[in-house]
Amino acid sequence: MFISRRTLWPIFTTFISQSHACNQQFDCVKQTVRGHGVKGLYRGLSSLLYGSIPKASVRFGMFEFLSNKMRDESGKLDSTRGLICGLGAGVAEAVVVVCPMETVKVKFIHDQTSANPKYRGFFHGVREIVRTQGLKGTYQGLTATVLKQGSNQAIRFYVMTALRNWYKGDNPQKTINPFLTGVFGAVAGAASVFGNTPLDVIKTRMQGLEAHKYKSTVDCAIKIMKYEGAAAFYKGTVPRLGRVCMDVAIVFIIYEEVVKVLNKVWKTD
């Protein structure tokens, strides 16, 4: 099949710009450590925990609930059912936690980088958004968020379930060590990055301070394609890949080890 130079050029230029972005990120790390020490890399940790803990709780809680309902007679969960359970988990975390947290975070970041910031702090920003726009103001881009988180977790749990079943083969009692769980998690994270970065780009646009420019999620996607081209949907893929792979690997290791401990101390029929 012939692929024209015009088709490949936007993809090539995107990856060149992303490689440049990676170099900038490494330089940012060096500058931060030099100016503020290693402690400077952990600024904003409390705000991250506020969102990450409830998000993981809803995600894995819903996945466990759904997977327990969908296992076969032998207790096995196939990859297709793992995808469905992951989809349900992603939709749940999007509605309950991710959409309001991400909307506030994106608006706060955009406000702080503007010429005249309105918000004096994170919690002041939340109060101002609710005061001026109501609770609806914290749920901007809900459709895009549901699509993004739903597809995200569907891909990750599908890959994790498939890899886990492949490794165990005909022996469902075969244990998986934490290192291998981390490798499987990193692969699942990479798959989700390539699979839904366009939805992440749309979601971020829909939750920013300039979200009023878009009539809907579909309108946002059309305008990005029309004015910026297909490559714009994959902005930040390479930097995001490094972060997400490590993030998903660590989260799945913790999840699997916690489940092992709970199964030992909290036996159910």
> Residue 157: in which H helix or E strand, if any?
helix 142-168
Higher local confidence (pLDDT), 171 or 248: 248
Quickly count: other Cβ atoms within 10 Å of residue 51's Cβ.
16
At residue 90, the pLDDT reads 95
Distance in angstroms (rounded) separating the CA atoms of residues 20 and 239: 10
Tens of pLDDT, residue by residue over 230-253, are 888 888 788 888 889 999 999 999
pLDDT in tens, 62-121: 999 999 999 988 888 999 999 999 999 999 999 998 888 877 777 777 777 777 777 777
pLDDT value for 2: 45
- Of the candidates 124, 196, 188, the one whose C-alpha atom is nearest the C-alpha of residue 160 is 188
Mean pLDDT taken over the chain: 81
> Rounded to the nearest 10 degrees, how much is the dihedral formed by the CA atoms of 47, 48, 50, 51?
130
Tell me the whole-structure pTM to 2 decimals.
0.74
Say how many C-beta atoms besides its own lie within 10 A of residue 234's C-beta.
Answer: 20
